[in-house]
Amino acid sequence: MAGFHTHITVSSAVGAGYAWWVHTQFGLPWSTSAVAGGLCSIAGILPDLDSDSGIPARETIGFTAAVVPLLLMHRFQKYGLTLEQMLLAGVPVYIFIRFGLGTLLKEFTIHRGMFHSIPAMLLSGMTTFLISDSGGLQTRALKGIAVSLGYLSHLVLDEIWSVEVNLTGSRLKSSSGTALKFFSKNAAANAMCWGLMILAAFAVYEENGLADLQAEATPTSTIVPAPIPSPRPTITQQPVPTFTPIDDPFPGAPPDFRAVPPLRSGTQARINRYENEPR
Ligand SMILES: [Zn+2]
């Protein structure tokens, strides 16, 4: 079995690569990519939650207890909680995972049980998708994939470590095939794990359906309301036409065309009479 440090080292390396990949491939901000990489790193020790003693379970539970309230912060924010209320809501979550989960796991799990299985790997990713509520569907899906990837790195390492190589050749240890598996020998554990996975799958499907519905409803909600007329409507003034004097209204006309026509006979006499009239 690969040790705690091997698991965390490999999953951290995978996480770093994954963070770089989502940043360059999907254009996620560095901070979000780093969170996805960090989740992948932590997920690399999650399957050993079922080991009853020692560093793996203790460290894993400690990490999980710290990370889950952080992932829930955005969801709390959506409920309209203040910062103090968010901290208060995070405390019981932390206490439950830190002190309650360990006891429960000790009671109900056996090492290399269904925690080391493909459905558990899928369940971890889907749970992360459901818990982390910040960012769009793509960001949440990428975080979920990060966790499943870290989880998978653990299972693969455990399988690799089950091959014993020595001078006379290689042989499979009895632990071979107990990490990358679909079912265990315990029917109740199988039913529990598969049941939870199917439930989570339905929840993920529902979330996607809701998101689609919201996307459909968005165009109707973004109708621009008619502008409310202000109390004193401003009258837009028509521009006053300006006339530019034309130097020569009849360019190229013959000189006699421009001649002032002579006054008709008697017109000048009438003008004179009018001007001289006493008033
Ligand atoms: Zn393991």
The per-residue pLDDT for range 24-77, each reduced to its tens digit, is 998 888 999 999 999 999 899 888 887 766 666 777 788 888 888 887 887 788
Q: At what angle do helices 4-26 and 137-161 cross, to 10 degrees?
A: 150
Q: Strand 169-172 to strand 163-166: parallel, antiparallel, or no bridges (unpaired)?
A: antiparallel
Q: Is 133 helix (H, G, I), strand (E, B) or coil?
A: coil
Cα of 1 vs centre of ligand 1, distance in Å, is 7
CA angle 179, 52, 60 (to 5 degrees): 75
161 CB-contact burial (10 Å; exposed 0-12 / middle 13-18 / buried 19+) = middle
Cα of 131 vs centre of ligand 1, distance in Å, is 24
Cα of 227 vs centre of ligand 1, distance in Å, is 64
Cα Rg, the chain, nearest whole Å:
41
Cα of 265 vs centre of ligand 1, distance in Å, is 127
Question: Residue 263 corresponds to which tokens in the numbers above?
Answer: 């006054």
What's this model's pTM, rounded to 2 decimal places? 0.66
Phi, psi angles (nearest 5°) of residue 173:
-75, 170
Instruction: Name the pLDDT band for 155 (thresholds 50, 70, 90).
Output: very high
Query: Distance (Å, rounded) from C-alpha 163 to C-alpha 45?
Result: 20
